[in-house]
Amino acid sequence: MKKLPFILISIALFLGSCAMMQTIVKSTFPYTATVSIPASAKVGEPATALSTANSFDQDFTKDGNNAGKISEVRMISARLESKDPSNYNIGNIVSLRVYMAKADGSDEVLVAVRKDITPTVGNSIVLDIDNSHFLDDLVRQESVRIRMVYLLRKANDVDVSLKVTLGIGAYPRNR
């Protein structure tokens, strides 16, 4: 009975090293980031919010990189929801674009957009994805930078925190 945890850990490490398992894991855990819109943000002027994102599965690897055996990584879903205050109406934003890049800002690509957001949309929206780019190099990074460019419809009374959730899909590497 004392050998059972050792056996389970060994199996998990073995499976974690195979391409199919890395594909499943990477496609299961989305990248999340919290972006802030300050109360001082101007209505009708494009503004930018920056944040660092990582995936939950990266916490279980030595260097934050568990994507060595996957390829053809593309965006498959994107969502934005109010975090603080939790009832913030995302309809206060007219439109937005979400970009993903390496931590230093290089290799930036557009991954999601939402134009003409309805004024009464509520505290959560699904974004339109841009899956025309492969994200292989980005998901091999320890963390990535998320840049959200937005246009406000209505001024905020308080600083607002929004959670960006980006789901990816991947295939096993053929090498």
Alpha helix stretches (DSSP H) within the chain: 4-16, 19-28, 136-139
pLDDT, block means (10 residues), the chain with 175 residues: 67 53 58 94 95 70 52 87 94 96 94 95 95 84 92 94 91 64
What integer pLDDT is reported at residue 59 of this predicted model?
A: 44
- What is the token pair recorded at 167? 């789901």
Domain assignment present for residue 66? The answer is yes
Domain assignment present for residue 3? The answer is no
What integer pLDDT is reported at residue 61 of this predicted model?
A: 45
What integer pLDDT is reported at residue 73 of this predicted model?
A: 81
Domain assignment present for residue 26? The answer is yes
Residue 62 belongs to domain spanning: 19-172
Give the CATH number, domain containing residue 150.
2.60.120
- Please give the tally of structural domains in the chain: 1
pTM score above 0.75: yes
Domain assignment present for residue 105? The answer is yes
What integer pLDDT is reported at residue 55 of this predicted model?
A: 78
Give me the DSSP letters along 71-136: EEEEEEEEEEEEEESTT--GGGEEEEEEEEEETTS-S-EEEEEE-S--TT--SEEEPEE--SS--H
What integer pLDDT is reported at residue 138 of this predicted model?
A: 84
Domain assignment present for residue 145? The answer is yes
What integer pLDDT is reported at residue 169 of this predicted model?
A: 82
Domain assignment present for residue 8? The answer is no
